[in-house]
Each structure stands twice: as structure tokens, then as C-alpha cells.
Structure 1
Amino acid sequence: MRITDVLRTIRANKRFLISGHIDPEADAVGSQLVLANLLKRLKKDVLIVNEDSPPGSCNFLPNVKSVKLFKDIKRKNFKQPDCAIVVDSPVLSRIGKVRDLISDDVTIINIDHHISNERYGDINWVDLKASSVGEMMFELFKKFRISLKRDEAILIYSAISIDTGSFRYSNTTARTHRIASELIKYRLDTDGIFEQLFELKSYPATRLLGATLSTLKKSKDGRVVWIWLTRKMLKRVGAKFDDTENFINFAKAVKGIKVAVFFKEADEKGRIQVSLRGKRGYNVNKVAAKFGGGGHAPAAGCVIKGNPKEVEKKVLRAIFQII
């Protein structure tokens, strides 16, 4: 389906629910916030609900406190939306418990850029050439002929920046740079945005990085490395689960490796979040797909329930089937 189907469906409905994937980052959060702004400017009623809170790196984003958590929603006061817009989630199950808020008669718009997207919506706008959903949000504003405000430019620029590794990853295109050049005209503090998204860490988060990297292991052939985060480590240093954003990039930086994996014990016992990164030519999305997850060829993730040692064995076995 085309973006015109999204425009038509938005115009035809009044009350909207916006959600995104569990363990969100700046593309998911920034895209939700700027989409909510767009809908409000179109005189729509909007509610953003996620299962997990935005990471600390997103605290600077304009209006980030408007994001509600599923656990805080009082069902008796919840009004069913006419339309649910799910962003940056290749499979519907990745929005977690928020799925329970969407009844069968609610129209679902699926806006995404992942190659593994399952086209689960009534309306599916999936742009595999887009670097990020943020890039797609820029196009949506253009199609509605609504001029961006500075806060909206910050949200879109941040969304694009995180998914392109600050315009370093191979998903960065000429279109990405053209959009960025338009956004920078809004007097953005690009250095400050980079610092917030990629550099600044709290003292507990920095200690957690050290503890996580101390678990680094390498396969016998040197092509795969992996690290672990446990609940005990979080408790010991006083850090939060979302403090681990970008930790996997340190594992990926090991010279000579082809695939990096980050195993994280989630809050729920027996639930392991798995983040995968692959060097050029190594499609880790195939690994994530085996466990019900998804993403892109160079970056993907999934959630697996089970004993940590068994989960590690299963994932590593799947990796060696593709490399």
C-alpha cells in the first residue's frame, strides 16, 4: 500500500492510539512524538502508549513525558481508538501488552522500514529504502502540506540519527542527507543531539557498561562475540535496564568479528532480550526471524523465553548456520 492510503485513513478517523516496539529507542520514540504532533495539528485525539519507557537518552526529546506506559493505563477509563498506528515494529507482537488495548474492530496502520515486516496492518506503509521511520515522518508532513516546527525537526532528526548511527551506517542515503539538511535549517543543536543520543551516560550506566563488557566472549574461530546483562548486575551498580542502549556497539567494534550479540535478562523472569549486529554481508535478521523477531540485515533483535545458557546455545547455533 502507499502513503496515500495512510493519509486517507488518518483523515477519516478521529481518535488515535500510537505505539511502538518494546525496549524503544529514539527512532521509535521520536517518530511517535512527531506523529502525535501531526495528528493534533489535524485536530485529532491522540494517545501514545508503550510497554516500556523511553530510554534515558531520549529524555531531551520535546514532549517525551506525554508517552504513557501500559501499566499506568486504567482500562475502565480507556476509550477505544478508531485507529491504532504502530511505528517501527516489524511484527505486531513486538508492541507487547499494548496489543491488548487494540480491539478487533480498530483499524491498524503499520508504518515501518524493516525488511522483516509482516504487513500485519489493515494499512501497511513499509518503506524498505527509508533509513528510519523518522525519515518517513518527514515525508508524511510533506504529503499533508504541514510545515514543520523546530521541536518537530528535533524529533525527526533524532529519529534518523539513532538509526543511521549518526549518518555512518550503510542505510544512510542521499535522501537521508537531503532530509537532514532541511531539518538543520531549523537551527538544530546537532552536536547536543549527538551527545544526548550517543555519548552521555550516568555514573551507574558507565559502571554497568564495564560490568557488561567484562562478560565478553569470543567463538573459537573469532567470528562471533557476545556479552551478557543480568538482573544481578543492574542491582549491583544501581543502573536501569534502558541504560544499556548502544552497549552492543562496543562488542561490534572488536576487530575481525562478523557478528556481535547482546543477551539481556529482562525484568520478567525467563525472558531474554537478544540484540544482534552483523558486519557487511552477514544477515542477522535471519537469526532473529528464527525466534519470532526481526529487523534489518545488519541489525535485528528478538525475545526468547528460557534458561540463559540454553538461550545462548540456541542463538549461537543459529548464527553459525548463516556464517
Structure 2
Amino acid sequence: MSESPPSASFAQIGDVLSRHQSFVLLSHVRPDGDAIGSQLGLGFALLAAGKSVRLFNEDGLPESLAFLPGSERIERPPAEPVDAEVVIALDTATRPRLGEGCLHAVSKVKLWLNIDHHISNPHYADLNLIDATSPATGEILYELILALGLPLPDESRDALYVAVSTDTGSFQYPSTTAKTYDMAADLIRRGLDVGRLNSNTYDNHPYRRLELLRALLNTLERSPDGVLAHWTLRETTRRELALCADDSEGLIDVIRAIRGVQLAVFFEELPDASTRVSMRSKDRRYDVCQIAAQFGGGGHSLAAGIRMPEPLDAAKARVLAAIEQRVAEVLIENPKS
């Protein structure tokens, strides 16, 4: 396998930003806090610098992130291709993850930038700023904005904080570094209301999310050795509870937190009969990115996902078999663990 090309420098990205006037910023389907926060964070910095900016997401703005200042600028992609000089894909490991509508909307744009922190990113743009050591794309953008001397308006400040907070499990995951805390401290010094943002992010769920949690707990299974826990959301449950796509965001951490569990998996039946798989690990020996890659997925060693075309039960059987194989391999490699 050929190595990925080197990551672009801040100076190279800055040269593109300074030489062009019109930008479209994209993020992945079913966007999370890092995706939307990254779009708003960079988007408002560019707007404050006098640039023309549009923010597209295939699935639009999640209800759970509508509290972010400026979030009304997140649009679903228009039906016709737009005129712009530069596309910037944010927090998106592969181009198809941007969605067919977004790809069509920017089909006339010639220059692509790709800014991301997923280790599985294949460098699909003209310039690629990929830092797999960063806990969130939002942290990369914070460093980029400061390095280039771009404005950091309040909308960017709040959005970048939420981007990093959500992708680090509120600064709990092992990917969190001293730089991450330094960033948060700087944003607070710039006037960020940490109590308000944390309350809106973590303590403001709709009742149906609790109904979903109850339904998921009824499907919870654990392996005999206690290493693996998984649960399942079927399409019938989604319809019965009238769920939104982001209602399940972060719930996998409930089973990840079980004592002794090293691997947590969330199987989700989608409306088109395909299957979405989310995986979390607490031990890098159980590299979920490598497991996901067997099925065309990707992400990070401790957090990865897959979109599988087959029905739920078939997909579930294949993924669980791959996980069981890796658990057995770890046991052989570490017989006393």
C-alpha cells in the first residue's frame, strides 16, 4: 500500500484562503458536534475576514446543536451546483461521506481542501491538512485560525469549543491533551460561557431520547467474558418513537462505561435497510478502526464506524465475528491479560 502524501502546512492552507474569496464548507452526513462546530468555527472566521461563505450539510442542522450562535447558516445542499472558488471538507474521512447532494452542489468547484483528524482519511482533496493526533477537527481549526491571524468571532469561539468538547467526551477520552485544555482555557478567557454551552450540549435532551435509551437497554447483550457489550436499534423502534437522527448521538458511551467492557458496539438499522455500526474501544489493542476497515469503514483506533449495505442481522453477525476474532487474537498475544 502506498503511503499517503504529506499533510499540507498551515501556510499552504493560508495561501489558498487569502487568494480566494468564495468558499463552500462541508461536513459529513449525520453530523456531530465536531462536524457542525468545525463548519461554524472556520466559517465565521472567514466571514469576519470578509470572505463569501456557505455552509452545506447533507442532513442539515441537528436539533441538538441549534443552540450554537450562527447555526442557522447551516443549509441543506441546493438542487443546482453553486458557483464558488474553493470547497473545504471538514471532519470527513472520505469524500462519499459528504453525501450525494453536497457533492452535486459543489461539482463545479475546482479546488478542494480537506481538513480532518481521522487516521483513515485517504487525502482525497487537492490540499489535505490531516492530523490524526488531534482529538478533534475543531482543535486543528483553532490552531489554524490563530496561526494565520484570522479573526475569532464569538460564533467561532463557541462552535470550536463544542466541536472539541463533544469529540473528546467532554474532555474525558484518552485523545485529550494538554493542548486541548489550553485551547479551552483560551476560549474561556475570550469570553466563552462554559456553563451555558455545557448545559445546552449535555443537559438538554428531548424526552424521546430517554425512551430510546429504555428501548436500547432491552436489547443490551454482553459477551461471556465481559469484554464486549452491544445493543441494537431497529427501524420499527425509530418509527414508534419518532426519533431524529441525532437522538442516539453519544448513547454508545453508556455501554462503553460498563466496568470490564473494552469494546462497545451500536448496531442501527437504517430506513433503506442498510446498517450503521458505531464502535468504541477503551484499549488500543482492540483497534476498532482496523476492524471497521474490514467492512469499508474507518475512524480512529478507539472510535470508528461503518455503513454496511446488508440488512441488520447479517451485518451484525459479520461484525461480531470480526470482533470475536480480534478478542481471541489479543488473548493469544497477551495470555495473562
Match of 1:69 in 2: 76
Q: What percent identity do the matched residue pairs reach?
A: 33
Q: What letter corresponds to residue 114 of structure 1 in structure 2?
A: H
The whole-number CA distance in structure 1 between the counterparts of 2:273 and 2:239 is 17
Q: CA deviation at 1:185?
A: 0.9
Q: CA deviation at 1:132?
A: 0.8
Query: Which of 38, 41, 52 matches 1:31?
Result: 38
Listed as ranges, the gaps of 5+ residues in structure 1 are none
The whole-number CA distance in structure 2 between the counterparts of 1:291 and 1:81 is 35
**SS of aligned partner of 2:99:** helix
Q: CA deviation at 1:311?
A: 0.5
The whole-number CA distance in structure 2 between the counterparts of 1:119 and 1:298 is 21
Match of 1:41 in 2: 48
Counterparts in 2 of 1:303 and 1:160: CA distance versus 1, 3 Å: same
**SS of aligned partner of 1:99:** helix
Query: Which of 17, 22, 45 matches 1:10?
Result: 17
Match of 1:172 in 2: 176
The whole-number CA distance in structure 2 between the counterparts of 1:21 and 1:118 is 15
The whole-number CA distance in structure 2 between the counterparts of 1:191 and 1:115 is 32
Q: CA deviation at 1:121?
A: 1.0
- Please state if 1:233 is matched with 2:198: no
Could you give the per-residue CA deviations for residues 160-193 of structure 1, whole angstroms, max 9, x where no partner exists?
1011111111111111111111001133221222
Q: CA deviation at 1:104?
A: 6.9
Counterparts in 2 of 1:102 and 1:151: CA distance versus 1, 3 Å: closer
The whole-number CA distance in structure 2 between the counterparts of 1:312 and 1:80 is 42
The whole-number CA distance in structure 2 between the counterparts of 1:100 and 1:79 is 9
Q: Within 5 Å, which residues of 2 pair with 1:1-323?
A: 1-70=8-77, 73-75=78-80, 78-97=81-100, 98-103=102-107, 106-267=110-271, 269-281=272-284, 282-323=286-327
Q: CA deviation at 1:99?
A: 2.0
Q: Which runs of 4+ in 1 moved over 6 A?
A: none
Report if aligned partners of 2:82, 2:105 keep a CA contact under 8 Å in 1.
no
**SS of aligned partner of 1:321:** helix
Report if aligned partners of 1:88, 1:113 keep a CA contact under 8 Å in 2.
yes
Could you give the per-residue CA deviations for residues 86-124 of structure 1, whole angstroms, max 9, x where no partner exists?
011111111121222333762110101111111111100
The whole-number CA distance in structure 2 between the counterparts of 1:246 and 1:13 is 37
CA RMSD of aligned residues (A): 1.6
Q: CA deviation at 1:148?
A: 2.0
Counterparts in 2 of 1:263 and 1:162: CA distance versus 1, 3 Å: same
The whole-number CA distance in structure 1 between the counterparts of 2:45 and 2:270 is 33
Instruction: Number of aligned residue pairs: give it.
Output: 318
Report if aligned partners of 1:61, 1:154 keep a CA contact under 8 Å in 2.
yes
The whole-number CA distance in structure 1 between the counterparts of 2:289 and 2:108 is 29
Q: CA deviation at 1:6?
A: 0.9
Report if aligned partners of 1:55, 1:245 keep a CA contact under 8 Å in 2.
no
TM-score, normalised via structure 1 length: 0.93
**SS of aligned partner of 1:131:** coil
**SS of aligned partner of 2:104:** helix
Report if aligned partners of 1:234, 1:241 keep a CA contact under 8 Å in 2.
no
Report if aligned partners of 2:269, 2:311 keep a CA contact under 8 Å in 1.
no
